[in-house]
Amino acid sequence: MARNCQMFAIVRIAGKQQIAEVGKKIKIDAKIEAKEKKLKLSEILLLVDQKQTKVGKPLVTGASIEAEVIAENKNDKILVVKHHPKKRYRRVRGHRQDQTILLIKKINEE
């Protein structure tokens, strides 16, 4: 995987893995509680810079990411439809997943 950036990391947020680069926005399908819109993410699985690559077993020790919450909103509505043919049974439910948008500020190695 060749990337043209200075440094990137693979971080686990809300049970899913995301690629984090400084200045990149990440959309997460979960509502994240943060004090003063600042987050410190510590579940770093992989850390890559121009000189070396650190692979966690399962996490990279001492590494962290500083992020800022830009927006908290909801995704578009999806409809969940159930029906039984020939039985006049139909149910339609809507669902809107919570979404948080993060801006990666800094990647700390140690």
pLDDT tens string 70-108: 999 999 999 999 999 999 999 999 999 999 999 999 999
pLDDT tops 80 at residue 4 = no
* Whether the model pTM is above 0.85: no
Using left for φ > 0, alpha for ψ between -120 and 50, and beta otherwise, residue 70 falls in alpha
Per-residue pLDDT, averaged over 10-18, amounts to: 95
- Confidence tier at 26 by pLDDT (50, 70, 90): very high
Strand 38-41 to strand 7-13: parallel, antiparallel, or no bridges (unpaired)?
unpaired
Exposure string for 68-78, b = 16+ CB within 10 A, e = fewer: ebeeeeeeeee
pLDDT tens string 35-71: 889 999 999 999 998 889 999 999 999 999 999 999 9
